[in-house]
Amino acid sequence: MRPIEVRDLHKAYGDVQAVDGVSFEIERGEVFALLGPNGAGKTTVVEIIEGHRTADSGEVRVLGHDPGRRERELRERIGIVLQEAGFDEDATVAELVRLHRNLYPRRLDVDAVIELVGLTAKRAARVRTLSGGQKRRLDLALGLVGDPEVLFLDEPTVGFDPEARRQAWSIVRDLRANGTTVLLTTHYLDEAQHLADRVAIVVAGRLVALDSPSELAAHGRETVIAFRTTEPTDAAALTSRGLLELLGDGAALESDGAGWRLITDDATRTLHAVTTWSLERGVPLDAIEVRRPTLEDAYLELVGEHPVHAGTDEAVRA
């Protein structure tokens, strides 16, 4: 039994099919990122898995339970970090973490969790005095203190500075190493690329891609090698000095403002050809850079291929 199983999920709001046949499974100890533009239906999918909404049809199992039944046994084994959470503004950080800890049979130490999320200096501070980023850290602490088997993270690093984001990433990696299953939603594609074992992209209520970030990025996309010479060089000069001859049919040459770029499906061969040409023909290179396809490239391409339901998730929240 996998910790999360979703089969042929459907959910409509009036004439809008918010979720249209979504299916996937998440393994134990996997960090799984669910991505999609606003209005794509991913929020609805996650809220059904969390048990906050019911599906029109399809099946969802979380740790073997139907989350729609909201059984105590399941709630005690999962953690949820919402994008927006309400706090008692007069409570202190330690009081809130201790209160949430007492709700779970599996419990982590209060001070250890506060230290883990970087709030030790704010342990006795009232919530109303915390910055937005510090409140997000508190959200994370409340989601972790029950030592969950499955953790839902909704935009967990919104409002974090770069150092805090890296710390949060380290926490997620440690959770994965300890066998915790993490379902992550984020608009930071670099975050998904760094953290996720697999990524699912939802557009217009449908699952349009599911694979590892590296496989999604590389599939059908070519590497770009950009370079500049130390002296002005036009296409005729590159041809006369033998670059195109060395490249053969393996790469396409394009102007790149002050320099040039080669689009290739064989980065190693093309890079070797450029450096060999530079040394043998006496054309010093001012700069050279290998730009491999990214998850962002794949995401933007997939989103551009599918129309998005205007306001699907926003309408649901309203």
pLDDT for position 306: 65
d(CA 93, CA 131): 12
d(CA 38, CA 96): 31
Q: Above 70 in pLDDT, residue 111?
A: yes
- For the stretch 271-314, pLDDT in tens is 988 898 888 888 888 889 988 888 998 898 888 776 665 555 54
**Same fold: 4-213+297-317 with 222-292:** no
- Per-residue pLDDT, averaged over 102-129, amounts to 93
In 3D, which of 34, 2, 41, 46 has the Cα closest to residue 199? 34
* Model pTM score: 0.82
In 3D, which of 96, 199, 84, 89 has the Cα closest to residue 144? 96
CA distances from 56 to 18, 76, 150 (A): 11, 26, 24
Give domain limits for the chain.
4-213+297-317, 222-292
What kind of architecture, by CATH, is found in domain 222-292? Answer: 2-Layer Sandwich (3.30)
- For the stretch 166-213, pLDDT in tens is 888 999 999 999 899 999 999 999 999 999 999 999 999 999 999 999
pLDDT for position 143: 92
Domain 4-213+297-317 class? alpha beta
d(CA 193, CA 213): 6
Please state the φ and ψ torsions of residue 289, each to the nearest 5 degrees.
Answer: -145, 135
Q: Above 70 in pLDDT, residue 164?
A: yes
- For the stretch 241-277, pLDDT in tens is 778 777 777 678 888 777 888 888 888 888 988 898 8
Q: C-alpha dihedral over 112, 116, 119, 125, to 10 degrees? A: -30
DSSP summary character for residue 123: T
DSSP summary character for residue 128: G
